[in-house]
Structure 1
Amino acid sequence: MAWLDYNPVWLRRDYWESLCERWAIEPWQERSQVAKRNRSTHPEKNVHTSGSVSYATHSQKLHHELERAPTFHEFFDRTHKQKGTDDYVSESARTIPETYDRTIADRYAEGTPQPDLDPEAWVDATGGPRKGRVYGFGDSLDTTLVLSSYASSVALRHMRVHLLRRPSVV
């Protein structure tokens, strides 16, 4: 248990030792190895530039730098672009904002006010939620309302398509 001597200062020592004992058992080690293989097999799915800094902290720092609240797009770019360049960390990080921007351009007439974030358009651009999470939202945003609203709108779209395909009865 090499990590035993590196307990976080904010965690009681006895809790840390208990965690280390749990992490050392065989089932946990197997699970850890599977997760490690999955991360290395699909590195583009696990990339952002936030490091161990929370999205909330990044948002506060960006707010301080800009001297105003950052837009969702600015925040996404900050957490998904390489530092010092304009390059996104992955292909999906590049294409999702582009898809979102096209959807917004189609949805809102030029010159009309647009929301900072249209959650339904963003979820569509990401390809939908995966395991109850939405790409780009991080842990700081509560997605419950977004996902329930998204599920309702998807159901309505399917219903409209179904009704449009039905032969009309006169």
Structure 2
Amino acid sequence: MKKVWNENSSERYRASIHLAKKAALSSAQKDLGRKPDILDMIGRGPDWMEANIWNDLVKIHWNKEDHKIKCEIARQNKMTAKDGSTTKHTGGSISFGAHRERMKKDLGRDVDEFEVFERMHKRKQGTGEFVDSKSARVSEQYKERQNVDDQSTQPSFNLKSWCDVVGEPCKGRVYGFGRNQHFRRSYNGSSNEMYSHEKNKELSQEIEDMRAISKRMEEEITESKNKLELVIKENRKREEQLIEEGRQREENLKEMVRKMIQEVGYTNHLYPGGSSPRERRDKRNKD
């Protein structure tokens, strides 16, 4: 509530000061018969502001060189051609909100932002030609996005489509609506909603990517595990084969030794079928 109050108060104050300065300069030009300077506004302040405060604003603030430079830059920016012409409208000094209330009263129904835009940017109370090429282009592109041919089939105002056509706010102003507080709050709310939606999409995509990576890692781990188990199984099988081959060689060697002993005639208990060398020696000694 406080923020809304401050925004509205700031806008009202800015508009009131602008009208007061315009009236003071007009009065000075009429009295002096020439183009007035900033200091010529002294003593020509509005009734709702004390004279000493007004005069201090003129001398201390508005007459400063940096303020004059800012005003000149703003004037040049305002006169800068965009889309073939400077920004124009037929609304005069009446605010967007005031125009909307008048249209509601005249038409006996509620009106949306686009209807007010066309009223403020077309000649002959919104029934003639557009005042410049930019407003005509914006109107045409917005209708194309909304897929409508005329206002009789105009759907409710689509904030996102409008911002897609005119771009984001510049210094608190949205083309076609100025500093309209309701529009700015709606834009900010919509922007936050869209931002949150985009962030959610990004997070969802990141989660899906992480799941895909995790699944791929699990598959790689499973594949590596299967390969390792296969290698272990093959090594165990090879080890068993080597053990069996060693056992078989040992048996073959024993069999070969047994046959060799038989061939040389060893018959004792160690050499079945023959005599040991000691037995043969003892036998010779007896003979």
1:6-65, CA deviations, whole angstroms, 9 ceiling, x for partnerless residues? 322333323322221211122111222222222223374532222211222212222222
Which of these residues, 114, 132, 145, is aligned with residue 103 of structure 1? 145
Cα 1:41–1:145 shift into 2, 3 Å: closer
Q: How many residues align?
A: 157
Instruction: Give the Cα–Cα distance (whole angstroms) in 2 for the partners of residues 152 and 45 of structure 1.
Output: 33
TM-score under structure 2 length normalisation? 0.47
Which residue of the other structure, out of 55, 58, 69, is the alignment partner of 1:17?
Answer: 55
Residue range with higher mean Cα deviation, 88-97 or 31-40: 31-40
Q: 1:35/1:10 Cα in 2 relative to 1: closer, same or farther (>3 Å)?
A: same
1:50–1:79 CA contact under 8 A, matched in 2 = yes
- 1:42 aligned to 71, 74, 81, which one? 81
- Among candidates 133, 139, 142, match of residue 179 of structure 2: 139
- Matched residue of 2:123: which SS? coil
Cα deviation, residue 114, structure 1? 6.8
Q: Contact 2:79–2:86 at 8 Å: present in 1 too?
A: no
Higher relative contact order (CA 8 A, sep 6+): 1
Mapped contact 1:129–1:135 kept (Cα < 8 A): yes
- Bigger helix fraction: 2
**Paired position in structure 2 for 1:56:** 97
Match of 1:94 in 2: 136
For 2:65, the equivalent position in structure 1 comes to 26
Q: 2:169: which partner in 1? A: 129
For structure 2, the residue ranges without an aligned partner over 5 or more in a row are 1-38, 217-287
Q: Residues 100 and 121 of structure 1 are in contact (CA less than 8 Å); yes or no, is this contact kept in structure 2? A: yes
Aligned-pair Cα RMSD in Å: 3.1
Amino acid at match of 1:129: P
